[in-house]
Amino acid sequence: MPWVCAVAFLANWTGGMEMFLASCSYIPLEVPLAAGLPGKRLFFTSSPVGNGDSLLPRDFCPYSRAFMRKYDSRDILAIAGSCDAMRRAYDCVRYWDLADHVLYVDVPRTADDGAVSYFAHVLRQMAADIEVACPGREVGETSLRLACEAMNTVRAAISKAATSMKRGVFSASQVLKATLDVNELISDTSRWGDRWSRDEEFTMDARDALAGTVAAQIDKLIAGGGGSQGLCRVGVSGTCLLDLSLVECLEEAGLDVVFIDSCMSLRMYDFSVDIESGGNIYEALARSYLSKPACPRMFMGDERILRLGALAARSGAQGLVYFTPKFCDLGYYDFPEIKHGLREIAGLPSLLLEGEYGAGRTGQLLTRAVAFREMLEGRRQLDEA
């Protein structure tokens, strides 16, 4: 089948309304919200559907390949230059005309003043591109500050759920499900935007409605309880946690996951945008996002190792499970440093797991997780002897 014909068989990802779809946690949803445009992080549950799997090589990261699908004509797809694979995904989406509106967001790898200034410029350009793609919408400074306030409240609510996880009230898989639900809630204005006409900029009513709805949702989930009963405490880190299956696998293996350093978890919500200093809002947005808990793509020296060590110490983790999608260059570079660093500063053992979507549902990963738990139990018994 000709390549161009294959595109016609790709399934639509979204439909029915304008939507801003972000590939990376370094892309601020505050900017589209300020323009009255609902947005969300894109999380997939599987590799490409139909013939989309043929548009990128099979030895590519499964997350980048998952972008090979047809998008609704009213959607704005924003792809960050997170890594080389995502840059190739951006090129492919444009070449095969999978999205009518696709933006490339160049995210610096440091958080120094020069990087902040550059990223602020990138975010201004992203706002301008949104205004071009959606005539009549405008990213005003007041509405952008209100959107920042709303997202700060959203992130604080999810942090509340994560704190409950650390106390054993809420399991790690429940926290991830709550995070994904909130991500969908932000984009679904029918659940919170009754007092907000999307023909206008983000308003105080919209801010209060979004923040209140998210807080109520998190409180409802926490009230349900259901903490993990794992025998050994571990943390989870890595490049891109593709779906829930890995954490569910660890819990099935008898491990108590006490923190998740992932762009589906801590790296997405464990920070806030500083809007109190009163400076340029784009500079504040850029600095806050570049300074948030770093992913392996960032050049932060030993900062990630020290932060993971501190997370492990606070939560009582006995080891670290590092997950990376198959063919992820960043993961292959990052894991050896994390493994040796945590062993030196905290004496923590690490387990490397890799796979595609649904990897946690395979017997191989479950077997390795059980073996890791047994090793941790043996270490604990020796320490107690």
Tokens of 43: 């999380």
The pLDDT of residue 198: 62
Q: Which residues of the chain have pLDDT under 70?
A: 1-17, 49-52, 166, 168, 194-200, 224-230, 385
**pTM, rounded to two decimals:** 0.90
Instruction: Establish if 281 belongs to a structural domain.
Output: no
131 with 6, same domain: the answer is yes
Instruction: Quote the number of domains for the chain.
Output: 3
Cα distance between residue 306 and residue 98, in whole Å:
41
215 with 199, same domain: the answer is yes
| 236 Cβ contact partners less than 8 Å away, ≥ 6 residues apart | 172, 246, 247, 250, 257, 259, 260, 261, 262, 320, 321, 322, 323
75 with 97, same domain: the answer is yes
Contact between 131 and 36 (Cβ < 8 Å)? no
Last residue in a domain, options 84, 110, 137: 137
Query: Tokens 């704005």 label which residue?
Result: 76
Fill in the DSSP letter of residue 320. E
Cα distance between residue 191 and residue 346, in whole Å:
45
Instruction: Establish if 275 belongs to a structural domain.
Output: no
26 with 147, same domain: the answer is no
The pLDDT of residue 229: 64
1 with 128, same domain: the answer is yes
Distances (CA, A) of 97 to 29, 32, 245: 24, 22, 32
Q: Residues 44, 45, 50, 55: is their CA dihedral positive or negative?
A: positive
Query: Tokens 């890799």 label which residue?
Result: 354
- Residue 260's beta-bridge partner residues? 236
Last residue in a domain, options 137, 161, 181: 137
Instruction: Establish if 245 belongs to a structural domain.
Output: yes
Tokens of 305: 């190792």
The pLDDT of residue 14: 39
167 with 308, same domain: the answer is no
